[in-house]
Every structure is written in structure tokens, then in C-alpha cells.
Amino acid sequence: MNPYDIAHQLAKALKDSTEYKEYKQIKEEVDKDEAKKTISEEFRKKQLELQTLKTFGQDISDEQMQELHRLHSIVSMDEKVKVLVQTEQRLGQLLSDIYKIIGDALKLEEPE
């Protein structure tokens, strides 16, 4: 078994997955509306920023958390953007699960 061939098969399976198809469809719909696209990108950017701080052991300020909550409230008001965020999370969970399966098989430690 060639790991590269299997990786290509996995990539195809992921592309054919319900999680990816739903994500791609809703992302295309959201991206057609500039306001929806902007708020989804701002929310994603703030989430990533705070996750990065947490990963490197830095404290997250109350102001940063309030900003994330504010953006989350805005996201929650728009059904399409809310669905986009939910589908991104499901796709991210799928990828995380796959990484864990591979890591467990190789006895790798997950980064904290």
C-alpha cells in the first residue's frame, strides 16, 4: 500500500463526503452576498485568532471574548451564515477525527 495513493483516495472520499458538499454549497451561496461573506470571514478570523492565542498559551482578554460573542450574535441572526459556520464546524470535526485516527495508529501526540 502506497501512502500517497491512499492519501489521494482519502482526498477524493472527503470531496465526495456530505460534510464537504454541504459546506461547498452553502459557502457559494453566502459568498454571493458581500455582507454575508464579510461577516462570516470576520467571525472565522476572530475565532482563528483566539484559537491561536490559546494554542500558544496566551490569555484571551475579556474584550476579545466580547468581540467574538458580538460576532457570533450577528452570525446567529443570519440563517445562511449560521448554517455556513455549522457546516464548517462539521467539516473541521471530520478532519480532526481523521487526524486523530492517523495519530493514534502511529502513536503520535496531538498538539495542545
Beta strands in the chain (DSSP E): none
- pLDDT beneath 50: ranges in the chain: none
**Sequence letter at residue 39:** I
pLDDT digits (tens, 9 = 90+) for 55-80: 999 999 999 999 999 999 999 999 99
Q: Name residue 90's amino acid.
A: R
Cα angle at 42 between 41 and 44, to 5 degrees?
65
Q: Are 88 and 23 in contact (CB under 8 A)?
A: yes
Give me the CATH code for the 3-106 domain, please.
1.20.1500.10
- pTM strictly above 0.85: no
